[in-house]
Amino acid sequence: NAGVTQTPKFQVLKTGQSMTLQCAQDMNHEYMSWYRQDPGMGLRLIHYSVGAGITDQGEVPNGYNVSRSTTEDFPLRLLSAAPSQTSVYFCASSYSLAGVYYNEQFFGPGTRLTVL
């Protein structure tokens, strides 16, 4: 199992450019999330998905779009990059047992994004 993979590892964008951060998991987890990590602010939830075709907003969704067409993939799109989106982005997945969610999240290695 590769677990949760993210590409690219590093990215530099200019203000106004768009891009997609890729996230994939091979554990057949139904739950997937995107977080951003900023110094002194911990991790903040951007968007999450509880299954293919189902997504919802987290704490800081503005400027980001997501879709979930398959169980494995959960890409994060930046529509028009801004310097405030400079951050480290983590994708995570999780699962439930017997219909109850209570388990740990499995994190990818992160994407470090700089917007100039």
Closest CA to 73 of 1, 2, 5: 5
> Among residues 25, 78, 85, 110, which is the contact residue for other proteins, using CB under 8 A?
110
Contacts with other proteins by CB under 8 A: the residue count is 25
Which residue spans within the chain are E strands per DSSP? 4-7, 10-13, 19-25, 31-38, 42-51, 54-57, 64-66, 76-78, 87-94, 96-97, 100-101, 106-107, 111-115
Using CA atoms, how far apart are residues 62 and 48, in angstroms rounded to an integer? 13
> Among residues 50, 65, 72, 77, which is the contact residue for other proteins, using CB under 8 A?
50
> Among residues 45, 63, 71, 73, which is the contact residue for other proteins, using CB under 8 A?
45
Stretch that binds other proteins, among 13-21, 68-76, 77-85, 94-102 (CB under 8 A): 94-102
- Name the residues that contact other proteins, by CB under 8 A: 4, 31, 33, 35, 40-45, 48, 50, 58, 90, 92, 94, 100-102, 104-105, 107-110
